[in-house]
Amino acid sequence: MISITKKIEFEAAHRISNYPGSCSEIHGHTYKLEVTVSGEINRETFMVMDFKDLKEILQKTVIANFDHALILKNNRENRAVFSSYLGKITWMESEPTAEQMLLWMVSSIPPHLPSGVSLQKLKLHETSGSFATWKNITG
Cα(96)–Cα(17) distance, integer angstroms: 9
Name the helix (H) or strand (E) containing 81.
Answer: helix 76-81
Give 117's DSSP letter: -
**Please, which residues have CB within 8 angstroms of residue 91's CB and are 6 or more apart in sequence?**
72, 73, 74, 78
Catalytic hit among 23, 29, 34, 99: 23
Residue 126 is among the residues annotated as catalytic for this protein: yes
Q: Are the C-beta atoms of residues 33 and 8 closer than 8 Å to each other?
A: yes
40 is catalytic: no
Q: Which of 29, 34, 99, 126 is catalytic?
A: 126
Q: Which of 25, 68, 77, 93 is catalytic?
A: 68
Verify whether residue 27 is a known catalytic residue.
no
Element (H, E) at 104: helix 98-108
Distance CA 127, CA 72 (A): 19
Q: Are 34 and 86 in contact (CB under 8 A)?
A: no
Assess contact for 37 and 54: CB atoms under 8 A. Answer: yes
Active site residue ranges: 23, 68, 126
